A and B are shown apart, each in its own frame.
Chain A
Amino acid sequence: MDRIIEVENLTYSYGKNLAVDHISFFVNKGEILGFLGPNGAGKTTTFKMLIGLLKPKDGKVNVLGFDMSKDAKKVQTKIGVCFEYTNLYEELSAKENLELFSKLFGVKNFNPFKILEKVGLKGKENDLVKTFSKGMKQRLMVARALVNDPEVLFLDEPTAGLDPISSEEIRNIILEEKRRGKTIFLTTHDMYEADKLSDRVAFINYGKIVALDTPFNLKQKFGKRSLKFKLLKENGEIYEKEVTLDKDDTLEKVLNTFKMEKILTLHSEEATLEDIFIKITGRGLKE
Chain B
Amino acid sequence: MAKILIIAEHDGTKLNASTAKCVTCARGIPAADITIAVCAASPASVAAEAARIEGVNRVVTLEHPANVHALAAVIAPQIVAIAGPYTHVLGPSTTFGKDLMPRIAALLDAPQVSDIMAVESASRFRRPVYAGNAIATVEATGAGKLVGTVRTASFTAAPAGGAAPVEAMPVAADLPEHTRFVSVSAAASDRPDLQAARRVVSGGRALGSAENFKILHSLADRFGAALAASRAAVDAGYAPNEMQVGQTGKIIAPELYVAIGISGAIQHLTGIKDARTIVAINKDPEAPIFEIADFGLVGDLFQIVPELEKLVGQRAVP
Q: Do A and B come from one complex?
A: no
Residues of B within 8 A of A (CB): none
